[in-house]
Amino acid sequence: MDIEAALRNRGKERADVEERRRAAEAYTGASLEAVASYPFDPKAAATNVENMIGVIQVPLGYAGPVLIDGDHAKGSFLVPMATTEGALVASVSRGMSVITAAGGARAKVLSDAMTRAPVLRVDGVDHAQRVIDWISENTEAIDAEVSKTTSHGQLMEIETFPAGRDLHLRMSYRTGDAMGMNMCTIASEAVCRLICQNTGAVLVSVSGNMCTDKKPASINAIRGRGKTVVAEVRIPKALVEEKLHCTAALMAEVNTRKNLIGSAMAGSMGCNAHAANMVAAVYIATGQDPAQVVEGSLTLTTCEVDGEDLYMAVRMPAVEVGTVGGGTRLPAQAEALNLIGCGGEGKARKLAEVVAVTVLAGELSTIGAQAAGHLGKAHSQLGR
């Protein structure tokens, strides 16, 4: 395509957006002047939204710097956070300053697998067993079918869960540096067609909800989905007292009575102070799927006295992030990823470790504020 044709197409795309926006204004009587202001070619969002009428802008700040010693994230980072919640970035920055002063946080990706869980209809338990046997005996044919749909994804495991005339298959995939849901869905549909052709089972839905995507689920808390990450820090006694204005023992008590006992009494699947806050802000900033904040909320925060010092850690069983594809291609989100050196291939696990340390910092700061009785005061001073 020559330059003139490209410019004509770009002009048409902007005109289409403006026409839809004006139609929405005429239909509703609302003014969309702010929505109309954005700096990029609408074509950049062609695969991210339908019926585009403009852009919603969320304030972006950065927390840090924070020192991270991860398997993939190493060094000092400024972490982009997009939020409308006053005090959040300030609180996370405070936690990061404590972590850095303590020598940094250790972070590690323990497992990495995106899941999709189709549900098949079978005739009964005997038929279900025949399907299960066929799957276990034909792994090479199944792998070949997956390879026809993706050059990046790899099927790692199929777990089978029969229940009456239902047969749920929880399929786990390596997805490279993409978050990978679309990749897994397309591959799973192909695998199910092969299974059904050879066993007489019937595919009811490519997602039977045992995945489990965008819903709180024990299976994700236990088995993980996306990247399971642990981040930890050991903070000397003097630093706890100087920076957090409390003691390690009091921090551990608040965490136990609040995050562990309180969460258990409430039946909460996440045992943390506010992990979803940090997950949402980083996900929105870096072009992740914000609905998967649900799985980020499954975080387990632990806190204990180590000698006279404080040991604190977060276990995040379902950090579902990518550094290619999806919203990561949008201009501002790509810049935010580059701010932490996480743009492009080979960076997804690095991003997951940065997310986990950011959550650790937010948990540290908030638990410290509650232990010191400063939470309400901090929010009041920062306009909340």
Name the more confident of 370 and 15. Answer: 370
pLDDT band with cut points at 50, 70 and 90 for residue 228: very high
pLDDT at position 261 over 50: yes
pLDDT at position 374 over 80: no
pLDDT at position 9 over 80: no
Is position 112 annotated as part of the catalytic site?
no
Q: Same domain, yes or no, for 276 and 183?
A: no
Q: Same domain, yes or no, for 371 and 289?
A: yes
Q: Same domain, yes or no, for 281 and 355?
A: yes
pLDDT band with cut points at 50, 70 and 90 for residue 152: confident
Which of 179-188, 195-204, 230-239, 375-384 shows the lowest per-residue confidence on average (mean pLDDT)? Answer: 375-384
pLDDT band with cut points at 50, 70 and 90 for residue 190: very high
pLDDT tens figures, 161-184: 999 999 999 999 999 999 999 999
Set 16, 85, 189, 306: catalytic member: 85
Tokens standing for residue 251: 């921090």
Is position 379 annotated as part of the catalytic site?
yes
pLDDT band with cut points at 50, 70 and 90 for residue 5: low
Q: Same domain, yes or no, for 268 and 319?
A: yes
Q: Same domain, yes or no, for 51 and 64?
A: no
Among residues 170, 205, 240, which one ends one of the domains?
Answer: 205
Name the more confident of 381 and 39. Answer: 39
Is position 166 annotated as part of the catalytic site?
no
pLDDT band with cut points at 50, 70 and 90 for residue 151: confident
Q: Same domain, yes or no, for 123 and 102?
A: no
Q: Same domain, yes or no, for 348 and 366?
A: yes
Would you state the pLDDT for residue 3?
54
pLDDT at position 375 over 70: no
CATH number at residue 124: 3.30.70.420
306-312-315 Cα angle (round to 5): 135
Q: Same domain, yes or no, for 50 and 75?
A: no
User: What residues make up the domain containing 137?
Assistant: 118-205
Residue range 215-234: average pLDDT? 97
Instruction: Report the candidate in 104, 73, 360 with the shortest Cα–Cα distance to residue 235.
Output: 104
Would you state the pLDDT for residue 7?
47
pLDDT band with cut points at 50, 70 and 90 for residue 281: very high
Which of 38-42, 76-80, 268-272 shows the lowest per-residue confidence on average (mean pLDDT)? Answer: 38-42
Residue range 251-256: average pLDDT? 97
Domain count, the chain: 3
Q: Same domain, yes or no, for 257 and 334?
A: yes
Residue range 58-82: average pLDDT? 98
Would you state the pLDDT for residue 14?
79
Q: Same domain, yes or no, for 135 and 249?
A: no
Whether residue 270 is contained in a domain is answered as yes
pLDDT at position 136 over 80: yes
Q: Same domain, yes or no, for 126 and 159?
A: yes
CA dihedral sign, ordered 235, 283, 298, 256: positive
pLDDT at position 6 over 60: no
Query: What mean pLDDT is reported for the chain?
Result: 94
Set 232, 289, 304, 306: catalytic member: 289
Q: Same domain, yes or no, for 265 and 289?
A: yes
pLDDT band with cut points at 50, 70 and 90 for residue 376: low
